[in-house]
Amino acid sequence: MTMTPETLAGRVQLRPGVAPPATIRSSRPDLLSRLAPGRRADEMPALLGAVFTLCAAAHRLTATAALRAARGEPACDPSTTAQTLRLTTAREQILRISHDWPRLLREDGRGDEGALLLRTCPLWRDDLAPADRLDALPGWIAHKWLGHAPADWLQRHDADPTGWAERWVELTERFGTPGTLVHLLHRVGPIARKLATPGATLQPAGIDWATLGRAMADEPTFCARPHWHGHAADTGPWSRRADTDAGTALRHNTVWQRLIARLVEVLRLSMPPHAAGALRLDHGALDLGSGAGLAWCEMARGLLVHRVQLDADGQRVRAWQVLAPTEWNFHPAGTLAHALAALREDDSGRRDAAARLLAVAFDPCVEFEVLHA
């Protein structure tokens, strides 16, 4: 078989109206079981960044942390890690919102405006230091997305988390100067607010990391079909530990709420270093003993976990497991699967559009296609 980028990454197939577990099928290959054993451990962070290209920075960072934990070494500088996560997660969310949403949700499948918009975003300016890119982000957001300063928009959202975003879209569309994002949210809003997505949400604050590490190592199918306390939970910007710890976590029971959660996260990550946004994304590592280490971080699509088992001298890999957000969110018995199964057979085009909207809300890291039952 010729190995193409799609062969390496895999693909997700969605069957709306079909009962779980046949609702979602994934061809994502288990590459690490073949690539990792016997490889020099120090090569793994770069290799994992090359394998998981869409979230490469988060994988490199988490792989490095897991490796250091397995060797009993101190963690990397937490402030540098926090800044890297903040910048790369904001950039990934902006890429999805500005480029992929128009491409996947427009009738003609074009995303030209989004690609042009990204060229102006400071997070892609290699001539600026990371801190300077982040400092320039609020101005870009205000000018290109909101028509408001991000801090002002967030203040209104926090005062009315269920209603402000909808009012903002409607008022901007009617009286303001709406951009591509407002146009798109205005168009998909009526159906997005009707698409229910109730389900169990993974809460990092409640995870026993050692237990999770054992499941990753001992259950052959766990990383492909993860479960926690009997549930196939979802994960994303709506399940951040910072919100749980602060008592500001919201239930996200519709596609609209999950889409807006991605926008809100970008705004929070754009806040100055002294604000909560700078420490928004949880990360950590655990020495599991006997040459094993676990590390995790909250990144754009949700919670990412790496587990490594090294050989006796700590130089080569015995096993490496990755538990990625896509396996939680596109679990054949998870929240998305049940939401897809509930789509009724009406006009095929409308049902396919609803299925695409559901998939975009949960954001796979691979291409997807909607199939007819």
* pTM for this entry: 0.94
- Secondary element (H or E) of residue 322: strand 317-323
CATH code: domain 5-370 is 1.10.645
The pLDDT score that the predictor gives to residue 5 is: 45
The pLDDT score that the predictor gives to residue 2 is: 44
How far, rounded to the nearest angstrom, does the alpha carbon of residue 314 sit from its chain's CA centroid?
31
Angle between helices 44-51 and 56-70 in degrees, nearest 10: 150
For residue 366, give every residue at least 6 positions away whose Cβ sits within 8 Å of its Cβ, in sequence order, or none: 9, 10, 11, 12, 26, 28, 326
The pLDDT score that the predictor gives to residue 161 is: 94
- Per residue in 16-53, pLDDT (tens digit) is 999 999 999 998 888 888 889 999 999 999 999 998 88
- Domain ranges in the chain are 5-370
How far, rounded to the nearest angstrom, does the alpha carbon of residue 164 sit from its chain's CA centroid?
23
332: phi then psi, degrees, rounded to nearest 5: -65, -10
Q: Is 324 helix (H, G, I), strand (E, B) or coil?
A: coil
The pLDDT score that the predictor gives to residue 103 is: 87
Give the residues of the chain that fall short of pLDDT 50. Answer: 1-6
Q: What angle do CA 159, 146, 271 make, to 5 degrees?
A: 65
Tokens 């979602």 belong to residue: 24
Both tokens of 330, joined, read 């596109």
The pLDDT score that the predictor gives to residue 345 is: 74
Between CA 118 and CA 100 the distance in angstroms is: 11
DSSP symbol at 76: P
Classify residue 317 as exposed, middle or buried by CB count within 10 Å of its CB (0-12, 13-18, 19+).
Answer: buried
Between CA 22 and CA 110 the distance in angstroms is: 30
How far, rounded to the nearest angstrom, does the alpha carbon of residue 359 sit from its chain's CA centroid?
12
The pLDDT score that the predictor gives to residue 359 is: 96
